[in-house]
């Protein structure tokens, strides 16, 4: 089917791809709604082979090993009353990643990434709610050429808020699976916000929901994820 390579800019951990961005790139190749399962950390600046096994079912391989796979999947829309935009702004001020972050250069939520380089999505606890939230304004480097954000960057924005929604102390966990649905692509420089919450799981496994809204609280995209804490 071809190959895909993830530029170093789009890292999560320093030596591997941000899971949400990677999943968005692979989902676009599938051509249908899918869940993307990450089996190994996707390497950066490396040609990865993409093989179509069946409709909606892909395998991403590197050096003979399967890095990721997809399966057809539809995500249910969240039944959530969104906070106000400025509640998300206030919540972001209390982002635990400012004080302790396992991957501070993460493309999505790394506090060491500059504006115009990383997404700078910093989810903090909402007051009186069991969710985290953060504002997000996409810069021009994310433009698909039509004034709107490329889909893989919306997948990326839906990634890390799920982690913080499950583990607000920002302890280490790795994305194992992500599925997302985009109702509409947001515009460059449009004020948006992302909400994340725990939706299930147990032990080292955590299920998360995330949702992306515009400034007026209109739902633009949503996702479901599985996060796994590494063994000690």
1, pLDDT greater than 80 = no
Give the span between the Cα atoms of 98 and 156, in whole angstroms. Answer: 19
Is 180 part of any domain?
yes
37, pLDDT greater than 90 = yes
Number of domains composing the chain: 2
pLDDT at 137: 98
Is 80 part of any domain?
no
pLDDT at 231: 87
pLDDT band at 182 (very low <50, low <70, confident <90, very high): very high
Q: Are residues 176 and 222 in the same domain?
A: yes
Residues spanned by the domain of 47: 2-72
Give the span between the Cα atoms of 122 and 194, in whole angstroms. Answer: 9
The mean pLDDT of 46-57, rounded to a whole number, is 94
Residue that terminates a domain, selected from 20, 40, 72: 72
The mean pLDDT of 39-58, rounded to a whole number, is 95
232, pLDDT greater than 80 = no
Task: Kindly report the pTM of this predicted structure.
Answer: 0.97
- Give which of 33, 9, 8, 13 is closest to 23, Cα–Cα: 33
Is 78 part of any domain?
no
Residue that terminates a domain, selected from 72, 103, 132: 72
Give the span between the Cα atoms of 59 and 118, in whole angstroms. Answer: 28
Q: Are residues 187 and 152 in the same domain?
A: yes
pLDDT at 174: 95
Q: Are residues 8 and 67 in the same domain?
A: yes
How many CA atoms within 13 Å lie on the side-chain side of 227? 28
Q: Are residues 204 and 89 in the same domain?
A: yes
Residue 49: CATH number of its domain: 3.10.129.10
pLDDT at 214: 97
Q: Are residues 208 and 155 in the same domain?
A: yes
Which residues have a Cβ under 8 Å from the Cβ of 22 and sit 6 or more positions away? 6, 10, 36, 38, 42, 68
109, pLDDT greater than 80 = yes
Q: Are residues 146 and 99 in the same domain?
A: yes
Is 46 part of any domain?
yes
């Amino acid at each position: 089917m071809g190959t895909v390579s993830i530029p170093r800019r789009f890292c999560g951990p320093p030596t591997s791809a941000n899971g949400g961005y990677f999943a968005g790139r692979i989902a676009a190749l599938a051509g249908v709604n899918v869940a993307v399962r990450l089996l190994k950390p996707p390497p950066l600046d490396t040609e990865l082979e993409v093989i179509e096994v069946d409709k909606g079912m892909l395998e991403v391989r590197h050096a003979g090993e399967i890095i990721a796979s997809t399966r057809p999947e539809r995500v249910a829309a969240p039944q959530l009353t969104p906070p106000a935009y400025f509640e998300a702004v206030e919540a972001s001020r209390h982002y635990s990643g400012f004080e302790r972050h396992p991957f501070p250069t993460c493309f999505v939520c790394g506090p060491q990434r500059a504006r115009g380089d990383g997404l700078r999505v910093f989810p903090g606890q909402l007051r009186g709610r069991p969710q985290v939230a953060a504002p997000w304004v996409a810069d021009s480097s994310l433009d698909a050429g039509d004034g709107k954000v490329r889909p893989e960057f919306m997948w990326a924005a839906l990634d890390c808020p799920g982690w913080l929604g499950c583990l607000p102390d920002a302890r280490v966990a790795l994305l194992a699976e992500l599925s997302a649905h985009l109702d509409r692509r947001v515009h460059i420089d449009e004020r948006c916000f992302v909400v994340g919450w725990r939706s299930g799981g147990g032990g080292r496994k955590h299920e998360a929901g995330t949702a992306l809204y515009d400034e007026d609280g209109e739902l633009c995209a949503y996702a479901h994820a599985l996060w796994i804490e590494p063994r000690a």
